[in-house]
Amino acid sequence: AKVDPLKIMISGAPASGKGTQCELIKNKYGLVHIAAGDLLRAEIASGSENGKQAKEYMEKGQLVPDEITVMMVKDRLSQPDSQEKGWLLDGYPRSLSQATGLKAYGFEPDLFILLEVSEDILVERVVGRRLDPVTGKIYHLKYFPPETEEIAARLTQRFDDTEEKVKLRLHTHNQNVETVLSLYEDITIKVKGNAPKEDVFVQIDSALTKLLEQKKSALGSL
Ligand code: AP5
């Protein structure tokens, strides 16, 4: 028999490093990275009615309504790649109703990771963040500058990455985080996110290794 693939949720304030850690986790564990924010930005880019509505909320740093987010995430989790390789859900759930909405479809995580980063650091991370539209890679002007001039010339910035907007996003996060945490208390690990990304990953990596071992031994004892 095969070990059940990992099912992981990762949460944290805006710019706490969720996307950055997901890239490292994906590279090592082969999970499918599903970021609620990326799915919403893809909706906006497609010009759909849902995308138009979502943008109004995202510009205010507020949660996009469940009518849009729950089905969008559920559909992506249901695809064969997520089912076969396991999934890494980034930025979802952000409310009680989002968590129960997903649970109703049978999606529950093995582990809930919370990245903890001080507020002064978050603002600096947001304003320095740049994205490579070709590779999807996340850079930072100070911490992870682009490798070449060519990449530097094509980097873009997100429409909600200003100091003013990150404060609104942070406010929304702070309002909701405790409720979501209380739902996953017994499977939560809190990770110290102020450190360099490699050091943050060491903490996550050891939790994931342990989890995989537990799954293997549970299978062995059947
Ligand atoms: P979303 O796209 O999820 O944004 P967010 O939660 O604000 O998080 P970010 O993507 O900004 O940050 P991150 O934690 O991934 O950090 P990153 O790794 O890039 O959501 C956007 C909006 O969509 C929301 O405001 C909401 O409106 C809507 N939305 C999303 N999900 C929703 C949901 N479930 N329901 C309803 N609405 C929803 O890192 C940031 C920067 O820091 C980068 O430049 C990076 O290089 C740098 N960095 C990372 N780690 C380190 C480190 N250890 N040291 C130094 N620099 C680092």
How high is the pLDDT of residue 222? 66
Q: Is the CB of 64 under 6 A from ligand 1?
A: yes
Which residues make Cβ contacts (< 8 Å) with residue 8, sequence separation at least 6? 25, 31, 86, 87, 88, 89, 109, 110, 111, 112, 113, 208
How far is the centre of ligand 1, averaged over its atoms, from the C-alpha of 150 (Å)?
Answer: 25
How far is the centre of ligand 1, averaged over its atoms, from the C-alpha of 19 (Å)?
Answer: 6
Domain boundaries, the chain: 11-204
How high is the pLDDT of residue 221? 75
Average pLDDT, 10 consecutive residues per value, the chain (222 residues):
91 98 98 98 97 97 97 98 97 96 96 96 96 96 97 96 94 96 96 97 98 90 70
Q: Is the CB of 101 under 6 A from ligand 1?
A: no
Quick one: fold of 11-204?
A: Rossmann fold (3.40.50)
For residue 87, give the 3-state DSSP assignment: strand
Tokens representing residue 44 in the block: 């906006």
Model pTM?
Answer: 0.96
Q: Is 130 a catalytic residue?
A: no
Q: Is 28 a catalytic residue?
A: no
Closest CA to 10 of 209, 213, 200: 200
Q: Is 94 a catalytic residue?
A: yes
How high is the pLDDT of residue 3? 86
Looking at ligand 1, which residue's alpha carbon is closest to its atom 23? Answer: 37
How high is the pLDDT of residue 219? 84
Mutate which of 33, 119, 129 for ligand 1? The one with the most ligand atoms within 8 Å of its CB, which is 129
- Selecting among 41, 125, 129, 165, the annotated active-site residue is 129
Q: Is the CB of 144 under 6 A from ligand 1?
A: yes
On whether the CB atoms of residues 183 and 99 are closer than 8 A, the answer is yes
Closest CA to 18 of 130, 113, 141: 113
Q: Which runs of E-coded beta strand occur in 26-82? A: 32-35
Cα 121 to Cα 30, 97, 124, 166, 183: the distances in Å are 29, 30, 5, 12, 27
Closest CA to 195 of 121, 131, 119: 121
